[in-house]
Amino acid sequence: MINLRPYQEKYISEIRNRFKKDSRRVIMSAPTGSGKTYTFSTIIGKSLEKGKKCLILSHRIELMKQTGGALYNLGYKTEVIDADNKNPDLVNKNLYTSMAQTLTRRIKKDEYIIWLKSLSLIVIDEAHEGSANFIWDYIKKYNIKCYVIGATATPIRKGNQWSFHTFYDSIVECVSIQELINKRFLCEPEYYSDRRIANKLNKVSIKAGDYDNKEVGNLMDELKTYEGVLDNYEKHCKGDKTLIFSSSIDSSINLVDEFNDKGFDAKHLDYKSKKGERKEILNWFDKTNNAILSNVGILSTGFDQPDIKSIMIYRATMSVPLFLQMCGRGSRINENKTKFKVLDFGNNFDRLGYWHEDRKWKLRHKHKKGDAPSKDCPECGAVLAVSIKFCPYCGHEFVNEEKEPEEIIELRKISYKELVIRAQNNIKEYNFEELEKIAKARGYKMGWILHQFNNPETIYKYANYKGYKRYWADKKIEYLFPLK
């Protein structure tokens, strides 16, 4: 028997209420580390007690094992549908877990169609991923009355994927990341940033709405960013169990080689790794206190390792869900851990904000967010509220004087104010392309860009960049710079 937290019980109650109101397709939006698996497993348990048939769809083997473990702890056994089980019992069992890739290949078979018709509840884990999209055509055709829960920490689709409103008709949010931090259910983050790559990213190709991973990896190697990774690892998180997200296999291997040459215990893992190798490396990572694991395209979702103390983002992305999932891998509470560090080498904080920021999700629209005013301690780099007069970490006293913003040479903690300064720097350089990338990734409209301009001349230059006529610029200037 699992004792649910109050917000988990609230999720269960709210989802049931939506189902009762004939909202059969519900997104359960719950932050990484909030216990989504136990929450929806409890809902499944109630359905099983009523004799209903249920399915959980996962897109990675680690997710399926995690889900199976939660169900086992609740006293339920599952029939697994994967490549190793060629003939699952589709008739006599009531609870199934399936790899999305496996079901994609089998769903057209007559016995699977009959089985699909018998299901009462389907849970799609990590619903922001597109691997389970295939199931919707079959639900609409063969089992329109089936209830569906899409569980995700990041209810926003990457790239050109269909919006959630295409499939779901309701979204349930009961707790935010900041609330979980305040209640000590999640660790408090510390952020460090290195933006040496920033001015080079405008040369990187965009594929499927995100930076080309191979080109980003090549850029990291070209800039020898790995040297900064090692330096900052030794400075900020030496001895921490550290998970690294790299953009390409070659780049990740190069980075791991650098760590090994320095005498650190580091390994590489990617989506091409064989099942046995993956299991062996993850077991090593679990058992080794100061392990450093660099991965490519495999551990951003559904990977539960509470003793991770540092996350290194050794890549650049324009994807909000990917960014949040990567950061969230370090957020789980552990007996020897109340904080975790995020070291950003891809200038991601500029584009996407902070992991813990409040985001209000919608089925159809991208989120909009607000930022709490903050400042950096010039002595230790801590991010603090603007009202703080003495740094609680190093004792630095703040005086009422304005200082020129520092040029970032090594990783240090950053604030939202610095993001605004960087935007202004882009304007001074007429780097409109980079400015638009920041606005798009953070969900801002063109009006935000225009309000950064402090003179009519810049608006004329922006109009020329966009290919707009002078009349358009005149109207914007008339609105933004009215004559007194």
Record the tokens describing residue 339, joined without a space.
């904080």
pLDDT of residue 126: 85
Nearest-5° angle of CA 399, CA 402, CA 350?
Answer: 115
| Chain Cα centroid distance, residue 357 | 12
SS3 of 229-281 = HHHHHHHHCCCCCEEEEECCHHHHHHHHHHHHHCCCCEEEEECCCCHHHHHHH
DSSP 332: B
Which amino acid is residue 188, in one-letter code? E
446: number of Cβ within 10 Å: 12
Report the sign of the C-alpha dihedral through residues 101, 212, 355, 165, in that order: negative
pLDDT of residue 304: 82
Closest to 248 (Cα-Cα) out of 275, 220, 279: 220
As given in the structure block, the two tokens for residue 422 are 């960087």
Max distance between CA atoms of the chain, in angstroms, equals: 79
Spatial separation of the C-alpha atoms in residues 210 and 142, rounded to whole Å: 35
**Under 8 Å between Cβ of 352 and 323:** yes
Residue with token string 């090549």: 218
Say if residues 48 and 123 touch (Cβ distance below 8 Å): no
User: Which residues have C-beta within 8 Å of that of residue 310, sequence separation ≥ 6?
Assistant: 233, 236, 237, 240, 241, 242, 243, 330, 340, 341, 342, 343
Are the C-beta atoms of 463 and 469 separated by less than 8 Å?
yes
Dihedral sign from CA coordinates of 84, 88, 93, 99: positive
Which of these, 33, 53, 35, 31, lies nearest to 44 by C-alpha position? 53
How confident is the model at residue 380, as a pLDDT? 43
Average pLDDT of each block of 10 consecutive residues along the chain (484 residues)? 86 94 90 87 90 87 60 77 89 90 91 95 87 88 93 76 82 92 92 80 82 88 80 90 93 93 93 89 94 90 86 91 90 89 90 85 56 47 55 57 40 57 57 76 75 78 82 78 61
Q: How far apart are the first and last CA of the chain?
A: 70
Residues shown for the chain: 484
Q: Which two tokens stand for residue 451?
A: 């309000």
121 closest CA partner among 29, 38, 47, 18: 47
Q: Which domains does the chain have, with CATH numbers?
A: 6-175 (3.40.50.300), 182-370 (3.40.50.300), 416-480 (no CATH)
Residue 371: CB atoms within 10 Å:
15
Give the whole-angstrom CA distance, residue 319 versus residue 348: 9
Tokens linked to 409: 């040479």
